Amino acid sequence: MQQYQWDSLYINGQIATMADEQSCPYGLLRDSALAIKDGLIAWVGPMQSLPDMPERLAKTIYDLAGRCVTPGLIDCHTHLVYAGNRYYEFELRLQGASYETIARADGGISSTVTATRMASFEDLLEQSLKRAKHLVAEGVTTIEIKSGYGLNLDTELKILRVAKRIGEILPVTVSLTFLGAHSLPLEYKDKPDEYIDSVCHDMLPVIVGENLVNSVDVFCENIAFDLAQTERVFKTAREFNLGVKCHAEQLSDMGGAALAAQYNAVSVDHLEFLSAAGVDAMAKSGTVAVLLPGAFYFLRETHLPPIDLLRKAGVPIAIATDCNPGTSPVTSLLLMLNMASTLFRLTPEEALKGVTRYAAKALGLQATHGTLSVGKVADFVVWDIEHPAELVYHIGFNPLIMAVKDGVKVSSVIPE
């Protein structure tokens, strides 16, 4: 019986590796091949450098006929497990109410918390799975999912278990983040410090005990938690050896980014009102800036994140959907690529790096995901386009023709 060096081989592709090994835009290898062995990338390079005839190298061969390949896309910031939706709040905002006014009147996040507490596990799974399927159908192979619409132990656990289940049902890696400090629940009105006690001492130990999360996030904002409360959560996260993330400088400059950087945050997210000092702090700690153009657009924000300062300081920039019912009801990462370029003026290459290489870094997965490099997990997507910049350029167009997850070809999941 013939012994093959590799399990499968993809030939005649234009491979946007997004890696540094190729010192060209997108790490693009024209007329190239990619080989898989045991779920990992075993070889990538020009066709003419293949060590033998393709049919002697692997049992299964796919001819990509010149199509583009990118790493599987990574949506590194979502809140996609929640019940209900907030179309009525959208209508109120169109009549002039601001996001803050609605939040302070116990609408906003609180109304989603009520619906999510009431939903059964099955109901929450069914509603959330639909959103995850839309992302997966666009080539997303890794999704970060935050809790944060429970705000009590039982419901936070329910959300995290639903999120974990999504990763078992769909061909997607799910990275879980505990966002107990998302908003002050009504039963703790005027007692934010007591609620933070509960997050740190009642919820986090149990969640860690179930080995559910990699990271802890806090919404540091004047409508959520202040710097001192944020720091208490970070300290506890560190005691449990968890990564730190922060929603910071979304609506105002609270200094959350610099605080998170002190705790070596893997990412700080939103950042419209980030100061120069915040940029420097993030550069020093190697923290990724996750920009969320969907929330910027949906809130009709006009204050741009300091993109040039981030670039000059060498802070890696990632892009995500922020999929949530209040400020970013978005289930298209491809649309976010376009918005990152049109609204934030990221180059198409920067935008694509933001959903591959730097999105992996924002999740602490840079050693295994995010680029098409030998030894990394074989998560990639084949697109029916001529150049990777087309993923950023088109609006409402999904050119995915094949997705490969952990080395296995998975049929694209068609949204219901």
Backbone CA torsion sign across 32, 38, 39, 42: negative
Report in angstroms how near the CB of residue 143 gets to ligand DI6 at its nearest.
16
Find the binder of ligand DI6 among 6, 195, 219, 383 (CB under 6 A): 219
CA distance 108 to 101: 9
b (16+ CB within 10 A) / e for 108-133: bbbbbbebbbebeeeebbebbbebbb
* Binding segment (CB under 5 A) for Fe ion, from list 87-95, 104-112, 272-280, 316-324: 316-324
Residue 234 tokens, joined: 């970070």
Q: Which is nearer to ligand DI6, 26 or 298 (CB)?
A: 298
Closest chain position to ligand DI6 (CB): 326
- Is 322 a binder of Fe ion (CB under 5 A)? yes
CB 244 within 8 A of CB 216: yes
CA distance 218 to 227: 10
- Is 107 a binder of ligand DI6 (CB under 6 A)? no
Q: Pattern of binders to ligand DI6 over 171-210, x per CB under 6 A? A: -----------x----------------------------
Report in angstroms how near the CB of residue 72 gets to ligand DI6 at its nearest.
25
Q: Which does 182 bind (CB under 5 to 8 A by kind): Fe ion, ligand DI6, none?
A: ligand DI6
Beta strands in 342-405 (DSSP E): 380-383, 400-405
Report in angstroms how near the CB of residue 58 gets to Fe ion at its nearest.
42
**How many binding residues for ligand DI6 (CB under 6 A)?**
13
CA distance 218 to 212: 17
- Report DSSP state, residue 393: H
- Is 109 a binder of ligand DI6 (CB under 6 A)? yes
What is the residue whose two structure tokens read 């997850």? Answer: 405
CA dihedral 234, 239, 244, 249 (to 10 degrees): 10
DSSP string, 189-234: TT-HHHHHHIIIIIIHHHHHHTT--SEEEEEESTTSB-HHHHHHHH
- Is 305 a binder of ligand DI6 (CB under 6 A)? no
DSSP string, 249-307: SSSS--SHHHHHHHTT-SEEEE-TT--HHHHHHHHHHT-EEEE-HHHHHHTT------H
Q: Pattern of binders to Fe ion over 266-305, x per CB under 5 A? A: ----------------------------------------
Q: Looking at the chain, how many residues does it have?
A: 416
Report in angstroms how near the CB of residue 234 gets to Fe ion at its nearest.
17
Find the binder of ligand DI6 among 176, 181, 295, 377 (CB under 6 A): 295
- Is 249 a binder of Fe ion (CB under 5 A)? no
Q: Which is nearer to ligand DI6, 182 or 376 (CB)?
A: 182
* Binding segment (CB under 6 A) for ligand DI6, from list 19-27, 120-128, 272-280, 319-327: 319-327
Binding residues for ligand DI6, rule: CB under 6 A, are 108-109, 112, 182, 219, 247, 250, 295, 322, 324-327
Residues that bind Fe ion in the complex, under the rule CB under 5 A: 322
